[in-house]
Chain A
Amino acid sequence: MPSGRPGGTEMRMRSAAIATTWRRVDPAVLAAFGCIVLLLLLGSLYSRSFLSPEYLLQQLKVASFLGVIASGTMLVILLGHIDLSVPWVVAVGGMMATACTGWGPLGVAMAIPVGIGCGVLLGLVNGCAVALLRIPSMIATLAVNAVAQGLMVVHTGGFSPQDASSPAMRFIATGHSLFGVPNALIVWIVVGAATIFLLTRTRFGRTVYAIGNRERAAYLSGARTHLVLIVAFAIAGGLSAFGGVLLAGYASKAAQAMGDPYLLPAIASVVLGGTSILGGRGNYLGTVAGVILVTLLQSILSVMQIEEYGRHVIYGVVILAMLLVYGRGRRHSE
C-alpha cells in the first residue's frame, strides 16, 4: 500500500494549535464553569447568602432572560457573523406583545406569538441583507436596529409604552411550577435543549458550523448556505424578541430601550463560553456557563453596593481577564 503519510508536518503542527473539536470537552467550557465556582466562593467571603439556594435560584431566573437572548446570539456568532440588532429587536418583542393585549381577547391570546413573530420578521431582514446582498452583518444588523428603534419611537410617540403584559406573559416570566422551579428557567431549559439538538443533531446545525468554518467550501459542497443564513438570523431575531416578551412579562409592561442592557452581555456570554467570535467553533454548554457567569458578576457587583462607575470598570476588566486566559488567537510564527 502506498505510504499516504499520516499527518504532514505542517498539518500536525497546526492541529496542535487548532482548538479541540466541538465533539470533545472544550477546555473553555470547563474554564467558564470554573470561573462561576470561583465567583461564588469570592462572593461567599463577602456574605454567606451568596451560596444560599434562594439566591442561586433567583440568579438562574434572571439569567434565563439573558440565556434566551444569548442562544440566538450564539447561533449568529457560530456563523461567523454578529447580530447588533439585539437591543431593539428585544424592545420590539416586548412592545408588540404588550400592544397586542389591547386588541381584545384574541389579542391577549396571540400576544406572545405576535411578539416573537415580529422578531422573526426583523431577523429575516437581517438574514436577507447578509446572505443575499452580502452586506457585512455588523452594518446590516446595525441598520436594522436603527430602523427598529425608529419604528418603536413612532409607535409609542416617544413616551413609555402603557400597555400591560398578558397573563400568559406574566406566567412564563414570573410564575413557579414543579418544585418551585421558576417558569422562566424552564423556558430557558426548553430553548437550550432545542438549540443543542439543532446544533448537534441536525443537518441545519452541521451547516451552521460549516459556514462558520469555511462558507466557500460549504457552498461548493452543495449546502444551501443562503437559506441556512437567513433561517439562522430569523431564529436569532425570534429568540431576541422572545427575550423581550419575557422581560415585559417580568415587569408587567414594556419600556423604552429595554433591550439596550442586553447586547453586550449576550455577546460576552457567548464568547466567554468558548465560542470563537470568528465562527465555526462553540458549544452551547459554554454559552450556558457564560450566561450564568455574566449574571452572577452583575449581581455580585450590585449586591456589594459598588458604585455604578466601579461596576462598569470591573465588568470590563473581568471579561478581558477571562478572555486573556482562554480566548486568545495564534501567533504568526506558528
Chain B
Amino acid sequence: MKSDWPYHLREHRGTLLAFLGFVVMFAIYAANHPAGLNANVATTAANKGTLLAILAMAQTLVVLTSGIDLSVGMVMVLANCLASTIVVGTPMMTALGVLGVLATGAACGAVNGLIVIVGRLQPIVTTIATGSVFYGIALALRRVPGGDVNASLADLLTGQWAGVPASLLFLLALVLLVWTPLRRCALGRAVYSVGSSEVAAYMSGVPVQRAKFLAYTMSGLLAAVAGLFVTFITYSGEASAANGSTYTLFSIAAVVLGGVSLFGGSGSAIGAIFGALMFRTIGDLLFVFNLEPLWQPLFQGVVLAVAVCLGSARLLRVKNRLDVYG
C-alpha cells in the first residue's frame, strides 16, 4: 500500500511551519528571559497569548470561507464591556452572564453572516460597517471604563493548575471541543469547500449558505470568548476603539503567520493559534532583550513584514509566471 505520510504532510504544511516557528521563538524567549522561566512568567505570557489565540481562531473561521472579519476586535470589546456588567454576582448569575455574553457574540457573528449571505455584500466592507455598530453598542454600555467581574471565575481561568497556566488548558479545551468536531463534520468541510471554490461547492451540492452562516456565527462566538478573557485579565470593561482595531489587525497577522491562506480553503485554527503565540512571543522578546518600549511598535511591524515576506518567498520560486495570477 502506498505511504500516506507525504499526503498528511502536504495537507498540514502551514500548521507545522507555524508550530516550528513558535517553538523557535519561545526557545529564544525562554533562554533569554532575565527571571528565568517560572510558573508566573509563563502564566502571564500564556494569558496574553491565549487572548490573541482565541481571536485568531475566530478570524480563521471567516478567512477559511475566503472572507475577512474586520469586526472581531470590536465584538471582543463589546463582549468585554457586556461581561464587566453581567458576569458578576452569584454562580448562577455569573453563569447566565457568561451565556448572555456568548449569545451576544454569536448574534453579532450571525448579523455579519446574514448581511454577507443574504445581502450579498463583500465581507470586508460589511465587517467595517458592523464593526462600527458593535463599537457603538459597546460604548453605550461603558461610556467610561469600569465594571467588575466574578473574581473566582476570573482567577480560575487566568491562574495555574498544577503549575500549568490555566489559560493554555482552556485553549486546549476549546480546540478539542470546538475546533476538532467542527473540522471533522460535514458542515465544517463545507466551510473549506466554500473558501476553496464557491462555484464548485455549489455545483457539488455543498450547503454553501449554511456553511458561511456557521463560520460567521462561530467567529462571533469565539470573539466573545476572547472578550470574556479580556475581562478576566483586566477585571474591567473598556470601550477602546484603538484596542479593538489593533486586535483585529493582530488577528489577521496571527492567521497569516499560522499558515491559513487569505484566499480561503486551506489552513487550520491550530496553525493560527501557533501564529498568535508566535506573534505574542516576538513582541515580548523586546522586553527580554531590554529594548526600549518606544521601539516595540516598529519591531512588531518589522517582524510582521518579515513574516509575510517569508510566507510569500515560495512564490519567487514559481516557474510559470501565469501561476501567480489567480
Question: Is B262 within 8 A of A313, CB to CB?
Answer: no
Instruction: Give the shortest distance, in Å, between A287 (CB) and chain B (any CB).
Output: 14
Question: Is B297 within 8 A of A153, CB to CB?
Answer: yes
Pick the contact of A158: B68, B242, B294 (CB < 8 A).
B294
Question: Is A312 within 8 A of B135, CB to CB?
Answer: yes
User: B119: CB under 8 A from chain A?
Assistant: yes
Q: Mark B306-320, 1 if CB is under 8 A from A, else 0.
A: 001101110110000
Question: Is A150 within 8 A of B125, CB to CB?
Answer: no
Residues in A whose Cβ lies below 8 Å from that of B5: none
CA distance A153 to B301 in the complex (A): 12
Residues in B whose Cβ lies below 8 Å from that of A271: 125
User: A149: CB under 8 A from chain B?
Assistant: yes
Residues in A whose Cβ lies below 8 Å from that of B308: 129, 135, 139-140, 143
Main secondary structure of the interface of B (DSSP, over half): helix
CA distance A150 to B291 in the complex (A): 14
Instruction: Give the shortest distance, in Å, between A83 (CB) and chain B (any CB).
Output: 12
User: B115: CB under 8 A from chain A?
Assistant: yes
Instruction: Give the shortest distance, in Å, between B138 (CB) and chain A (any CB).
Output: 8
**Which A residue's beta carbon lies closest to that of B202?**
A332
Given the known interface contacts A330-B120, A332-B202, the answer about A311 and B249 at a Cβ–Cβ threshold of 8 Å is no
User: A331: CB under 8 A from chain B?
Assistant: yes
Question: Is A320 within 8 A of B315, CB to CB?
Answer: no
A residues 277-334 near B (Cβ < 8 Å) are: 277-278, 307-317, 319-320, 323-324, 327-332
Given the known interface contacts A320-B115, A320-B129, the answer about A312 and B139 at a Cβ–Cβ threshold of 8 Å is yes
A/B pair count, beta carbons within 8 Å: 159
User: A112: CB under 8 A from chain B?
Assistant: no
Residues in A whose Cβ lies below 8 Å from that of B256: 139
Question: Is B129 within 8 A of A151, CB to CB?
Answer: no
Pick the contact of B325: A150, A216, A278 (CB < 8 A).
A216
User: B99: CB under 8 A from chain A?
Assistant: no
User: B137: CB under 8 A from chain A?
Assistant: yes
Given the known interface contacts A133-B315, A138-B262, the answer about A154 and B294 at a Cβ–Cβ threshold of 8 Å is yes
A residues 247-268 near B (Cβ < 8 Å) are: 257, 260, 264, 267-268
Main secondary structure of the interface of A (DSSP, over half): helix
Residues in A whose Cβ lies below 8 Å from that of B263: 136
CA distance A216 to B325 in the complex (A): 6
Residues in B whose Cβ lies below 8 Å from that of A138: 68, 252, 262
**Which A residue's beta carbon lies closest to that of B299?**
A150
User: A157: CB under 8 A from chain B?
Assistant: yes
Question: Is A320 within 8 A of B298, CB to CB?
Answer: no
Question: Is A144 within 8 A of B302, CB to CB?
Answer: no
Residues in A whose Cβ lies below 8 Å from that of B17: none
Residues in A whose Cβ lies below 8 Å from that of B295: 150, 154
Residues in A whose Cβ lies below 8 Å from that of B312: 133-135
CA distance A220 to B324 in the complex (A): 13
Question: Is B302 within 8 A of A319, CB to CB?
Answer: no
Residues in A whose Cβ lies below 8 Å from that of B297: 146, 149-150, 153
Total contacting residues, chain B, CB less than 8 A: 56
Question: Is B325 within 8 A of A329, CB to CB?
Answer: no
Pick the contact of B301: A146, A216, A219, A267 (CB < 8 A).
A146
Question: Is A142 within 8 A of B249, CB to CB?
Answer: yes
Question: Is B298 within 8 A of A142, CB to CB?
Answer: no
Question: Is B133 within 8 A of A147, CB to CB?
Answer: no
Residues in B whose Cβ lies below 8 Å from that of A257: 242
Question: Is A149 within 8 A of B262, CB to CB?
Answer: no
Question: Is B121 within 8 A of A328, CB to CB?
Answer: yes
User: B122: CB under 8 A from chain A?
Assistant: yes
User: A163: CB under 8 A from chain B?
Assistant: no
User: B124: CB under 8 A from chain A?
Assistant: yes
Question: Is A310 within 8 A of B136, CB to CB?
Answer: yes
CA distance A277 to B121 in the complex (A): 10
CA distance A317 to B126 in the complex (A): 10
Residues in B whose Cβ lies below 8 Å from that of A315: 129, 132, 136
CA distance A140 to B294 in the complex (A): 23
Residues in B whose Cβ lies below 8 Å from that of A260: 242, 245
Pick the contact of B124: A147, A277, A328 (CB < 8 A).
A277
**Which B residue's beta carbon lies closest to that of A217?**
B325
**Which B residue's beta carbon lies closest to that of A132?**
B316
**Which B residue's beta carbon lies closest to that of A328?**
B120
Question: Is A278 within 8 A of B128, CB to CB?
Answer: no
**Which A residue's beta carbon lies closest to that of B126?**
A320
User: B196: CB under 8 A from chain A?
Assistant: no
User: A89: CB under 8 A from chain B?
Assistant: no
Pick the contact of A150: B122, B133, B140, B302 (CB < 8 A).
B302
B residues 266-297 near A (Cβ < 8 Å) are: 294-297
Residues in B whose Cβ lies below 8 Å from that of A314: 136
Instruction: Give the shortest distance, in Å, between B73 (CB) and chain A (any CB).
Output: 13
User: A29: CB under 8 A from chain B?
Assistant: no
Residues in A whose Cβ lies below 8 Å from that of B143: 309
Residues in B whose Cβ lies below 8 Å from that of A320: 115, 119, 121, 126, 129-130, 133
User: A169: CB under 8 A from chain B?
Assistant: no
Question: Is B139 within 8 A of A309, CB to CB?
Answer: yes
Question: Is B132 within 8 A of A313, CB to CB?
Answer: yes
Instruction: Give the shortest distance, in Å, between A19 (CB) and chain B (any CB).
Output: 14
18 A-B contacts, Cβ less than 8 Å apart? A82-B124, A84-B249, A135-B308, A135-B312, A139-B256, A146-B249, A148-B301, A149-B298, A150-B296, A150-B301, A268-B125, A312-B135, A312-B139, A313-B140, A316-B131, A320-B133, A324-B121, A330-B120
Pairs A-B, 4 closest by C-beta atoms: A150-B298, A146-B301, A312-B136, A316-B132
Contacts A140-B308, A146-B305, A154-B298 known; list 16 others, CB within 8 Å. A134-B324, A135-B311, A143-B301, A150-B295, A150-B300, A153-B298, A158-B294, A219-B322, A316-B129, A316-B131, A317-B129, A323-B121, A328-B119, A329-B120, A329-B121, A331-B120
